[in-house]
């Protein structure tokens, strides 16, 4: 039979394995819950169902589409094929201008209407989020 020390060793290895697999499971599960997918307006049109999850949309801010009042900012995101209306309350980054790329994070109400909770800014005016770039290229 095994000695006491060996038994203890096995017990520890067993414990570590359990903890490891538990944390891997935990990480993967919350990864699944917390990733934010990126969609272009065209991809949204082809969706079969409207998901409750947070997503990001990206494209160009359509020219002359910005409307603003005290509480809300409204604008249209376009990939030159499909448009989507965005309503947003919150801080607006400086690089947010018509005719430039934008990424908005929030929830889809339906295929034409998006409620944004965040507009993402980049430090560099020449930079466009890579997602937007490829979304525009695919059109």
Partner 1 sequence: MASLIGFYSLFSGLLCSIFVIYFSIINFRNSKILDKKILIFTFFQFFFVIISFFALIISFVISDFSNETVFNHSHTTKPLFYKISGVWGNHEGSLLLWLVVLTLFIYLFLIKSKEQKKNYKILTLLFQEIIIIGFFIFLIKTSNPFNYIFPIPTEGLGLNPILQDPALAIHPPVLYLGYVGSSIIFSSALAGATLNYISKDWARHIKKWVIISWIFLTLGILLGSIWAYYELGWGGFWFWDPVENVSLMPWLCLTTLLHCILVLEKKNILTSWVVVLSITTFMLSMCGTFLVRSGILNSVHTFANDPERGLFILIFLFILIFLSLFIFFFIFKNSNKNPTNLFWLSKETSILINNWFMMYFLAVVLIGTIYPIFLEVITSEKISVGPPFFQKLIIPFLIPFLIFMAIGSQLKWVKSDLKNKLYLVLFFIISLILTLLIIKNLKINFLTNTVLLTAAFFLFFITVRDFFKKEFKNLSQNIAHFGFSLLILSILFNNIFSTEIISNLKIGETINSNKIQINFESINQKEKQNYKAIIGKFNIKDQYGKNQILNPELRIYNQPNIVTSEADIKTNLFTDKFITMNLVQNQDYFNIRYQIKPFMIWIWVSVIIICFGGTLSLFKRNYEN
Partner 2 sequence: MKIKFYPAFLILIFFIIFLIFYKGLQNPNTYTPSVEIKKNIPEFKVKKFKNEKILNSKDIFLDNKFYLFNIWASWCVPCREEHKYLMKFKKDKNIEIIGLNYKDSDENANEFLNELKNPYDIILSDLDGTIAIEWGAYGVPETFLIHDKKIIKKIIGPINEYSFIEIEEIIK
Binding site for partner 2 (CB under 8 A): 80, 99, 126-128, 130, 133, 136-137
C-beta closer to partner 2: residue 70 or 137: 137
Task: Count the residues in the chain.
Answer: 139
The pattern of x and - marking residues 12 through 51 that bind partner 1 according to CB under 8 A reads: -------x---x--xx--xx-xxxxxx-------------
Question: Which one of partner 2, partner 1, none is in contact with 98 (Cβ closer than 5 to 8 A by kind)?
Answer: partner 1
Given a contact cutoff of 8 angstroms between Cβ atoms, the answer to whether 136 and 80 are in contact is yes
Distance CA 103, CA 120 (A): 6
Cα distances (Å, whole numbers) of residue 34 to 115, 119, 135: 18, 18, 22
Report how many residues bind partner 1 under the rule CB under 8 A. 43
C-beta closer to partner 1: residue 34 or 48: 34
Name the pairing type of β-strands 67-68 and 113-120: unpaired
């Amino acid at each position: 039979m095994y000695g006491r020390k060996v038994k203890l060793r096995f017990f520890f290895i067993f414990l570590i394995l359990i903890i490891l697999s538990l944390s891997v499971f935990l990480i993967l599960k919350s990864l699944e819950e917390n990733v934010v997918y990126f969609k272009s307006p065209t991809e949204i049109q082809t969706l079969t169902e409207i998901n409750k999850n947070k997503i990001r949309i990206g494209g160009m801010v359509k020219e002359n589409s910005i409307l603003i009042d005290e509480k809300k900012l409204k604008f249209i995101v376009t990939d030159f094929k499909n448009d989507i209306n965005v309503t947003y309350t919150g801080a607006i980054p400086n690089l947010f201008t018509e005719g430039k790329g934008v990424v908005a994070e929030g929830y889809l109400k339906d295929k034409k209407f998006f409620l944004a909770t965040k507009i993402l800014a980049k430090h560099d005016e020449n930079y466009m989020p890579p997602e937007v770039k490829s979304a525009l290229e695919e059109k």
